[in-house]
């Protein structure tokens, strides 16, 4: 089986992990997302799952269009990345982006080693 991980799932889960540690941490840079995503893929591969990240500019633009009520492109400390709209809560993200995940993918998103790539 091959798992495709879109930027919306990657960003949402990165923000969930950051907000769980600090509720005011509502931003993740593209660099952090790339590092986190690479570690998620590495984790899944180590469990025998093939995983592919979908992080193209086109998929990013699609995410901002399809989830414009949740995410926005912004910068913080001179880094460009994804910010969470002010009215969105961690519970909103969990309900929308974790309820349908396969268990092994969820484990990859919350693994201590993968989350460490977010600076959490």
pTM of the predicted structure, to 2 decimals? 0.94
Q: For all residues of the chain together, what is the average pLDDT?
A: 95
The answer on pLDDT for 1 being more than 80 is: no
DSSP 76: E
- Spell out the residues 6+ positions from residue 120 whose beta carbon is closer than 8 angstroms to its own: 17, 18, 21
Q: Quote the pLDDT of residue 16.
A: 97
Q: Quote the pLDDT of residue 120.
A: 79
Distance CA 54, CA 49 (A): 16
pLDDT digits (tens, 9 = 90+) for 57-101: 999 999 999 999 999 999 998 999 999 999 999 999 999 999 889
DSSP 70: T
Neighbours of 104 (CB within 10 A): 15
Domain boundaries, the chain: 2-112
- Tell which CATH classification among 1.20.1070, 1.10.760, 1.10.10, 1.10.150 matches the domain 2-112: 1.10.10
- Spell out the residues 6+ positions from residue 52 whose beta carbon is closer than 8 angstroms to its own: 2, 3, 4, 5, 41
């Amino acid at each position: 089986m091959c798992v495709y991980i879109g930027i919306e799932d990657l960003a949402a889960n990165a923000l969930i992990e950051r907000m769980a540690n600090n509720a005011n941490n509502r931003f993740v840079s593209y660099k952090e997302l790339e590092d986190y995503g690479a570690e998620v893929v590495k984790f899944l591969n180590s469990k025998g799952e093939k995983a592919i990240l979908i992080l193209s500019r086109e998929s990013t633009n699609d995410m901002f269009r399809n989830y414009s009520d949740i995410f926005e492109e912004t910068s913080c400390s001179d880094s460009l990345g994804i910010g969470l709209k002010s009215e969105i809560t961690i519970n909103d993200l969990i309900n929308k982006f974790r309820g349908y995940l396969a268990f092994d993918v969820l484990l990859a998103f919350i693994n201590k080693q993968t989350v460490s790539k977010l600076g959490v």
